[in-house]
Every structure is written in structure tokens, then in C-alpha cells.
Structure 1
Amino acid sequence: MAQTWVVLAPFFFLLIILVQSPAYNIVNVEAGNEAVLNCPFLFKKPLLMVTWKMKFSTYCLLAYRYDKNVTRNLNCSERTTWKYSPDSNPALRIYPVELGDEGNYTCEIVNSEGNFHFFSYLAVIVPPTVTLTTDNGGVVICQASAGKPAAEISWVPANNHSTDREVHHPNGTVTRVSSVEWKSNVHSSVTCLVTHPATNKTLSLDLLYASLNLHYLMIGGSASVAAAIGIGVILCLIFRCKGKSFGE
């Protein structure tokens, strides 16, 4: 029996720690959508008060007192409300979610048995803006702008010589840029794969078409310059001729 207790004691100790530890929940929501943070009320004793506390640039508090049927809102935006009736389900609703809503949320329930805390973390996901361009010199640039978290970029055909860089913005978003050098005579097209929790995108670029466009621009640009020079010479000759006539 003593040996059995020695074996089971660590498991009972771990169970006690888990029961006494405050509940913690992580909620991932894309910006612009609705976030619902739950505060489970699983007690036999009736609810006396429930309070949500959030700290952003200012302290925000949303509370409900059961005996007086009174709700209090302190510095919380209009986007932050009760999802249901707080006396039956004190879940918190935020809509639409903004990047600044990310952070820790605490729900406190008070009844005759004591005070109970439930902790949540709201993580806001922002889909990036994706572009695929070329400098027409053989370098192709895939850019995933202002995403949160940072997007992953890969290439088809696979290329192990890409140049990657990141720009971290003050609001927590990240722009990731990946560039590779391709030759249109080796690969006629290239594809950029952008992987992100909010959106996965595939962009393709026809390298041969891009090269033809560059060739056309160069020819068109040269022709335009030549035409402009020709017109200038003609105008100059006309004015000189006129000047001669007036002088005579």
C-alpha cells in the first residue's frame, strides 16, 4: 500500500495544481471578425458579480452586478459588449476586432463561495497584401506586406538562392520580401507561394511575357526619343528659315 501511494502521490499533486491554477484560454481571431471570450460559470451557488478587465492604452472594465441588475462600462469601446445576458452566460464579445484589441483579458466571477478568475489571451491575425513583380532584369520579387504573423514565402520551381528580408512595423505587423534571379530562357514562368494563417495565396509570373514587355518598352522608348529629336530639328530649321526671310 505504501508503495502504491509513493507511485500515485505525484499524480495527485499534479491534479491539485491543475485544479487550483487559473483557467487560461488563447483565442485567435482575424482582424475585422468577431471575437468571443468565454468565462465559464460552473458553480452551484448563484452569481453575485462578474467583471471583465482589459488593459490597452487605457484600462477597460465591463462589470455586471446580479442583485441590482446593473451593468457598468468603464473606458471600453462600443465594440466591446456582452455576447449574451451576463447573468446566464458572461461571455465577452468584441466586434469588429482591431489590431489594438490584442492582449490579456481577465474574467472575475464572484459568488458566495469566493472569487474565481479566468484568463484569456486574444491574438489578432492580419492577412498580408501579396504582390509579385519583376525588375525585368531577371530578378523576381514576392512581397507579403503588413501581415501578422509574418507570412512564409516559397518558390516554384524551388530556389535555394532567394534573398529574404523582413520589415517590422510599429503596430506589430511584418512585411516579408523574397527575391530570386530567374532566366526566362531557362524557366518560362515562376510561381510564388505565400503561406499565412489567414490566407494562402499563389501568384504566377510569365517571365517570357515580362521580357517581351521590356523589349517593347526599350524599342518604344527609343522610337519616341528619335521622333522627338526629329521634330525638334524640323522646328529649328523652320524657325531659322523664317528668321532669314524676316532679315531679308
Structure 2
Amino acid sequence: MEPRSATYKPFKGTDQSNVVLFSILYYTYLTASVGTKVVLFCQPICSDYVILATWGIDLGGKFNCSIAYHPEKNETNSTCHDKGLTWFSRPDQNTSLQIDPVAVSHEGNYSCEIVTLDGNFHHYYHLQVLGKEHHVL
């Protein structure tokens, strides 16, 4: 799917001659099997300076959490208690999210937002988990 972009006007009273704000949106639908590893990529397209990187995780209302990286403070914060949801690498080098191993409980929606001086970049994922566990009665 092609990225979607929108241009926003600055607040009233600001010097509009040098202010351009924009947002780029990506949507990805993917499937993964139980027990595999998935990496959800989220990189700014045209900026070298990241102000904030955030992953929002919504697993169908059963479990919501977020993971954030603040480069200026070199600090990460997480409200996720699932040890399978981690940064793929060092977040100052790669803002991708790793799910390892994938479990049925990981099915849901993931959103990444990268805030830069050039604008905001959003990447939304819907993860469907295949090979769901069967319970023996």
C-alpha cells in the first residue's frame, strides 16, 4: 500500500514562511505463525534527527502498552510486561519492534510514531497470528 501524506497549516500567528509540517502514514497487514519471530519496521523516511520514537500496542482490548525512546535523554520507557515485545536492536540505531516468539496473545494492532524535525512518520500494523493453540479437554 502506498504511503499517505497530509500537509498541516501552522498555528495562527506563526511565521508561515519557513514552517512546513507533514505526516506520512503507512499501513501493513501481516500474518505470523505461533513460535516465529516478527520484526515490525518503523524508520523515518527523510530525517536524521529523531525527537521521539513510540510504539503503541493494542491487543484487542486485552492488553495495551507502549514502548518509547527519547534520544535526547538516551532513555527508553515501557509499560509492556510481555518480555517478547522488545526493541529489535538499540533504539538509537533502529526503532523497529521485535516480537519473539510470536504467541496467540500478540495478535492485534501496533502503531509506530517517529517524531522528527521534518515531521511525523506513522506506521500501523495489524498482526494476525496463525496456528493458534488448541486446548485439549
Both proteins in one fold, TM over 0.5: yes
List aligned pairs for 1:1-248, cutoff 5 A. 18-20=4-6, 22-56=25-59, 57-126=62-131, 146=134
Identity of aligned residues (%): 32
SS class of match (1:22):
strand
Q: Which has the higher contact order (CA 8 A, sep 6+)?
A: 2
SS at match of 1:61: strand
1:61–1:76 contact (8 Å) kept in structure 2: no
Distance in 1, matches of 2:92 and 2:45, equals 13
Backbone CA RMSD of aligned residues: 2.3
| Equivalent residues, number | 115
Q: Where is the strand percentage greater, Structure 1 or Structure 2?
A: 2
State the Cα deviation string for residues 99-144 of structure 1 (Å, max 9, x = none): 110011000001112322110111111078xxxxxxxxxxxxxxxx
State how far apart, in whole Å, the 2-side matches of 1:36 and 1:66 are: 21
**Within 2, Cα distance between the matches of 1:44 and 1:71?**
20
**5+ unaligned residues in a row in structure 2: which ranges?**
7-23
Dislocated runs of 4+, deviation >3 Å: 17-21
Equivalent in the alignment of 1:158:
none
Q: TM-score normalized by structure 2?
A: 0.74
Return closer, same or farther for 1:127/1:98 CA change in 2, 3 Å cut-off: closer
The Cα shift of 1:88 comes to 1.9
The structure richer in helix per residue is 1
